Homo-oligomer: A and B are copies of this chain.
Amino acid sequence: MQIFDSIKKMQEWSLQARKQGKSIGLVPTMGYLHDGHLSLVQAARRNCDLVVVSIFVNPLQFGQGEDFEDYPRDLSRDTDLLADAGVDAVFAPAAREMYPAGFSSSVEVSGEITRKMCGISRPGHFKGVTTVCTKLFHACMPDKAFFGQKDAQQLLIIKKMVRELNFPLEIIRVPIVREHDGLALSSRNVYLDAGQRQEALALNKALSQAKEQIAGGERDIARLKDRISGIITASPQAEIDYIEIVNGEDLSELEAVDGIVLIAVAVKFGKTRLIDNLLVEV
């Protein structure tokens, strides 16, 4: 497995691979890998000749007072895991390689899709995501890039960016991976203490119950949100950031549950903000 910290060397490797007719699958990550990331790697291996995993904690997508400094990092453990998983190349640039002095370019998706949900509580976050993804796509030149459904809003924004700016690649959605008790995997789960860890199960429980209610015929969004809220606030430390039930393709508002619907929640437990979601088709 090759490890690159230089954009130029990464790009040369990718150009060479493409000249040889090999397809490239990219899994962009911020490292501190868990089984969710590894399921993205497995999807990439099934779909492409070569797999590149990028590891970069992107300062641009963290706001002031967020956890950029504290975000967990363990590059040597990550590269061991990726070598075992059969990855061909790791792209792990330093921040100064990605954003040298004077850097002032940006890529942005505006409109409703970025203005709501995490766009409200994390201003500038998605602009940082689309800018770094543009750089990663150009550096690694994938045929396909794999993103987790866990970051549902991010996935839809990147799909819109790729479609509208005509990146010559395809975005592949990979399902959420959960612990046995239902907690969605996240690098930020390490921040939770035992009590918070237990309370955080409310997210998946609330989403699952909403799904059951919809299966049982419930179509009223306000009532569904109320029940989700009730389940989550039963956890004493839970502080709800948002509960949304929206169009699962463009995040637009719905009058009632209909079509492809995204139920998404963001909840803080102490300083730790967790997100989770569920797609249902009616």
A134 touches which of B7, B113, B139, B165 (Cβ 8 Å)? B165
- Which residues of chain B have C-beta atoms less than 8 A from A168's C-beta? 11, 15, 138, 141
Using C-beta atoms within 8 Å of the partner chain, give the interface range for chain A: 20 to 34
A105 to B108, CA, bound (A): 6
Task: Check if A166 sits within 8 Å of B135, measured CB to CB.
Answer: yes
**A15 contact set on B, CB distance < 8 A:** 168
Q: Which of A1-22 contact B (CB under 8 A)?
A: 7, 11, 15, 18-19, 21
10 contacts between A and B (CB under 8 A): A7-B166, A18-B18, A18-B19, A104-B160, A104-B164, A105-B160, A105-B165, A106-B108, A107-B165, A135-B165
Partner-B contacts on A (CB < 8 A): 7, 11, 15, 18-19, 21, 100, 102-111, 113, 130-131, 134-135, 138-139, 141, 160-161, 164-168, 250
20 more contacts with CB within 8 A, not counting A19-B21, A106-B108, are: A7-B166, A11-B166, A18-B19, A100-B164, A103-B164, A104-B109, A104-B110, A105-B108, A105-B110, A105-B161, A106-B110, A107-B107, A107-B108, A107-B134, A131-B165, A134-B165, A135-B165, A135-B166, A138-B166, A139-B166
